[in-house]
Amino acid sequence: MDLREAEGRFLEYLEFERRVSPHTLRAYRGDLEGFLATVERTTSRTAVVGDFTIRMLRIHIAELHGTRASSGVARRISALRSFGEFLRRQGVLTENPATLVPAPKQRGRLPTVLPVEDVTALIEAPWPESAAGLRDRAVLEVLYGAGLRVSECSQLDLPHVIEEGGTIRLRVRGKGGKDREVPLGRKGRAALTAYLRHRTDLMTPRTPTQALFVGQRGGRMGVRAMRALVNQRCDQTGSRARVSPHGLRHSFASHLLESGADLRTIQTLLGHASLSTTQRYTHLTLGKLFDVYEQAHPRATLAKQELPKRSKRNA
């Protein structure tokens, strides 16, 4: 079988059965195209399924070292393992050779998290008194107040805003097409309500009638525009760290954990499939843990001297 034909079937499986996001689909396509290019350059012919071997995989991965970060190489190996597993389940291969390719060791990077006061300044610093200003504030309130991925925020429609008994919940379509409902706090509710009163001021004949956040040209406000908005606010407010929309999501989770929320609750709010993904936020709160211990424990001064020094990574 032509390996490009197998690639097409795999991408269809991801899109229609696994229901991965468009961003994930593009990433898989790019990763597989890179491997196919290596095969065809090495063999000087069209790639066939028989070329999906441990030797060819190692040639491809060797080409990546020195040109890609270890995280990028690891992602490429993960994509190839998924592709190989698909071929094995389809009966095209008897075994998946990609499982024999080791992923490079990666340094554990903790997500960027803003202090509460920086998030407050980011959102509450003066905004333009216009429909666009109301929209932009509402976007930041939703990103941080509900802990949404930027793609989830962009795809919100008016029916996804559920008002009930003075509260607002958002029905969110997450990764893998999984739906969840998340609450929006008092300030987020006020910002969203104020924006909705003026939403029609931003609309044009081409505006999707159901899009919650309307962009500059009247269409749905996209992921790129939301990222640019967050970057612009970081510059305007003099934030100590430039944070991305995903950084606001990380801040949401970390601040909840520091305030006593349990990991299972945070996992549900974030829409994580695995608790292990949520557990990385425990590293971010070790500094808070030590501060509370020092203030509360009667022998904290002595204990602090005896405790081993924390590395910068775990601080």
pLDDT band at 288 (very low <50, low <70, confident <90, very high): low
- Is the pLDDT at 284 greater than 70? The verdict is no
pLDDT over 90 percentage in the chain: 60
Locate 195 and state its tokens. 């924006």
pLDDT tens, position by position, 86-145: 999 999 999 999 999 998 876 666 667 888 999 999 999 999 999 999 999 999 999 999
Report the alpha-carbon distance of residue 93 to residue 79 in Å, rounded.
Answer: 16
The residues annotated as belonging to the active site are 149, 175, 246, 249, 272, 281
DSSP string, 188-217: HHHHHHHHHHHGGGG--TTS-TTBSSB-TT
- Is the pLDDT at 298 greater than 70? The verdict is no
Report the alpha-carbon distance of residue 54 to residue 58 in Å, rounded.
Answer: 6
Q: What is the pTM of this model?
A: 0.69
Helix residue spans in 146-285 (DSSP H) = 150-154, 186-198, 223-237, 245-258, 263-270, 275-279, 281-284
Q: 251 near 119, Cβ under 8 Å?
A: yes
Locate 75 and state its tokens. 């992602």
Query: For domain 3-100, which CATH number applies: 3.40.190.10, 3.40.47.10, 3.40.50.300, 1.10.150.130?
Result: 1.10.150.130
pLDDT higher for 135 or 261?
135
Considering the chain, what is the average pLDDT of its residues?
Answer: 87
pLDDT tens, position by position, 11-25: 999 999 988 888 889
Whether the CA torsion 149, 151, 152, 156 is positive or negative: it is positive
Identify the weakest region by mean pLDDT among 34-43, 191-200, 249-258, 299-308.
Answer: 299-308
Q: What is the pLDDT of residue 299?
A: 60
Q: What is the pLDDT of residue 86?
A: 97
Q: 243 near 112, Cβ under 8 Å?
A: yes
Locate 22 and state its tokens. 């468009």
User: Up-side HSE of residue 74: CA atoms within 13 Å toward CB?
Assistant: 8
Phi then psi for 171, rounded to 5 degrees?
-90, 115
Q: 101 near 58, Cβ under 8 Å?
A: yes
Identify the weakest region by mean pLDDT among 121-130, 158-167, 187-196, 231-240.
Answer: 231-240
Residue ranges of domains in the chain: 3-100, 116-283, 285-315
- The DSSP secondary-structure symbol of 171 reads E
Task: Classify domain 116-283 at the CATH superfamily level.
Answer: Intergrase catalytic core (1.10.443.10)
Report the alpha-carbon distance of residue 173 to residue 221 in Å, rounded.
Answer: 16
- The DSSP secondary-structure symbol of 16 reads I
Locate 119 and state its tokens. 């998030």
pLDDT band at 209 (very low <50, low <70, confident <90, very high): confident
